[in-house]
A and B are shown apart, each in its own frame.
Chain A
Amino acid sequence: MSSSAPASKNAASRFPAWLWLSILTMILWGAWGIQSKLIMETMTPLANQIVFVVGLVPPVSWCLLARPRRAATLSRERRSGSVYAFLTGILGAVGNIAFFVALATGGPASIVVPLTSLFPLVTVVLAAAWLRERVGRAQIAGVGFALVAIVLLSL
């Protein structure tokens, strides 16, 4: 008992919770690619986007229960943050529809998912142009690799 406690503590420091959670995220989003391709055999992309919302109920409920109570009035800062989040949702939902239609019109999941996963390319370029964020050398190399990947995946 006394020897297993330090061993488990050591294992926890080697495999911290955030690492497991990151791997879980990777698996969930990766599985979503497979699920999306499979569902396209029985459902149209638009119908799928409608029913997709049902699956958001558990995570949203968890958020509503977990987040601290806020004042009824929204400050200007919070209102603007909420508007951006809502805009993110609209763009995300329309992006989802394009993704589903790509899969429904013959795009293989093993190509469509890596291709669409390159979205940080647009984020990095826009963040530099719009938010005036600095772009590192690694990111510039990433833009180059992303452009090559898009060409190769579309052949």
Chain B
Amino acid sequence: MGTWVGLSCVALALWGITGVTQKLSTNKISSLHSFVWFSGAFVLVAAVLLAFVPLGGQLSVTTIALAALGGLLNGGGALSSFAAFERGGRASIVIPLVSLYPLVTIGGAWLYLHERVTAVQAAGIACALVAVILLSREPAPQETAR
């Protein structure tokens, strides 16, 4: 098992906690307001990193633009999901649909990065997609599973 598996699980755990803190936040303030504070924290983390990580002059404009594109894709995705809810999208449809984003990555990785997956990994991907759809299903009001 590669180090990357453990690191992926760290990301999974931290992003999982953000699911709770984000809910606590949007119970009290709007999604847009919450996103501004969320991004403010990113600026703080970036400022701390900047004190220790010299960016130097070795980075080309293209590299910087490609790296910044990450923030745009991520932040743009957050805004379009907020807009989907504002335009009447039901959480029971929007969240499972959006949760299928790994399919886009897998398709792109196959096409552009020439990544190939084993049969076991393909089974894992299928399980993961089923899992995220099921996890995003809100329980019915009368449902008492626990």
Binding site for B on A (CB under 8 A): 16-19, 21-39, 42-44, 46-60, 62-64, 66-67, 70, 77-78, 80-82, 84-96, 98-99, 101-103, 105-128, 130-131, 134-146, 148-155
Cβ-defined contact, B55 with A152, below 8 A = no
Beyond the given A19-B97, A110-B105, please list 8 additional residue pairs across the A-B interface where CB-CB is below 8 A.
Answer: A22-B93, A30-B102, A35-B70, A38-B112, A38-B113, A48-B67, A111-B117, A146-B131
Please give, as numbers and ranges, the residues of chain B lying within 8 Å of A33 by CB-CB distance: 101-102, 104-105, 108-109
Size category of the B interface is 35 or more
- 25 residue pairs of the A-B complex, CB under 8 angstroms, read A17-B87, A18-B85, A21-B89, A25-B98, A29-B74, A31-B104, A46-B53, A54-B64, A59-B75, A81-B34, A85-B34, A85-B37, A88-B41, A90-B41, A91-B17, A102-B8, A111-B125, A114-B124, A117-B128, A119-B12, A130-B20, A131-B23, A138-B134, A139-B135, A139-B137
Binding site for A on B (CB under 8 A): 1-5, 7-30, 32-46, 49-50, 52-53, 55, 59, 63-64, 66-81, 83-85, 87-89, 93-94, 97-110, 112-113, 115, 117, 120-121, 123-125, 127-140, 143-146
The number of residue pairs between A and B whose CB atoms lie closer than 8 Å in the complex comes to: 479
Please give, as numbers and ranges, the residues of chain B lying within 8 Å of A91 by CB-CB distance: 14-15, 17-18, 21
Cβ-defined contact, A67 with B7, below 8 A = no
Q: B139's contact among A44, A48, A136, by CB below 8 Å, is which?
A: A136
Cβ-defined contact, B16 with A31, below 8 A = no
Please give, as numbers and ranges, the residues of chain A lying within 8 Å of B100 by CB-CB distance: 26
- Top 7 closest pairs, chain A to chain B, by CB: A30-B104, A122-B16, A55-B71, A89-B41, A136-B139, A123-B19, A81-B28
Nearest CB in chain A to that of B97: its residue: A22
Cβ-defined contact, A88 with B146, below 8 A = no
Please give, as numbers and ranges, the residues of chain B lying within 8 Å of A21 by CB-CB distance: 80-81, 83-84, 87, 89
A127 to B5, CA, bound (A): 25
